[in-house]
Amino acid sequence: MGILDPYKGFGVTFSTMFKKPTTEQYPEEKKPTAPRFHGRHQLNRHPDGLEKCVGCELCAWACPADAIYVEGADNTEEQRYSPGERYGRVYQINYLRCILCGLCIEACPTRALTMTNDYELADDSRTDLIFTKEQLLAPLGEGMTAPPHPMFLGDSETDYYRFDPDRAGPFDASGLSGAGADAPGLDSEPEPAR
């Protein structure tokens, strides 16, 4: 240790003493997060309101914390929740375990699962921190109908992923512009938490 090192250490202390303190007025004033901040998850919908989740469980298998529980079930023509064969009948994320790493959203083949900027996940009840499918589903947007209902955007799953407003059947596509990834509902992430 050099002879000047203790004075250098006190220099840091003294320079900090005269700096203006930084006090966050949370929760009265909430600062916006970075746009790609990993917050609470969301289960997205297709533009007609059908769910994008196909109950494949890939997100659950990818999760290093074993925080996701999925039970898939078959769609029927009378009870259809997603285009194609299967849907996620039960979907839960345990926020007591989740470390918000994002591996689950990388694993999801349909972009059903994304993450919002919502970071207010504290609670004093263990049960309330296990979020159900109903809590995680994106709200119904303009032109969407709550499932179960028939496939309005085409005859097959492919029609949904190559969405063409001109082939949208009885679904009113007049409010939509563009196809594919630009169509509303495909990435219906809410505004960042403020």
Q: Which residue has the tokens 């009885």?
A: 170
Candidates 35, 69, 187; CA nearest to 178 is 187
68 part of the interface to ligand SF4, by CB under 6 A: yes
Q: Which of 93, 151, 168, 183 is in the footprint of ligand SF4 by CB under 6 A?
A: 93
> Whole-angstrom Cα distance, residue 183 to residue 163?
8
Q: Which of 50, 58, 168, 186 is in the footprint of ligand SF4 by CB under 6 A?
A: 58
Stretch that binds ligand SF4, among 18-26, 55-63, 118-126, 142-150 (CB under 6 A): 55-63
Candidates 111, 131, 118; CA nearest to 185 is 111
101 part of the interface to ligand SF4, by CB under 6 A: yes
Map the footprint of ligand SF4 across residues 1-40, applying CB under 6 A: none
Q: Which of 30, 33, 37, 65 is in the footprint of ligand SF4 by CB under 6 A?
A: 65
Contact 105, 12 (CB under 8 A): no
Considering beta carbons, is residue 51 or 173 the nearer one to ligand SF4?
Answer: 51
Candidates 43, 45, 188, 48; CA nearest to 108 is 43
Considering beta carbons, is residue 59 or 173 the nearer one to ligand SF4?
Answer: 59
100 part of the interface to ligand SF4, by CB under 6 A: yes
Q: Which of 40, 42, 49, 59 is in the footprint of ligand SF4 by CB under 6 A?
A: 59
**Which residues make beta-bridge pairs with 181?**
none
Considering beta carbons, is residue 138 or 173 the nearer one to ligand SF4?
Answer: 138
Map the footprint of ligand SF4 across residues 102-131, applying CB under 6 A: 102-104, 107-108, 110, 112-113
What's the 3-state SS for 124-155? CCCHHHEECHHHHECCCCCCCCCCCCCCCCCC
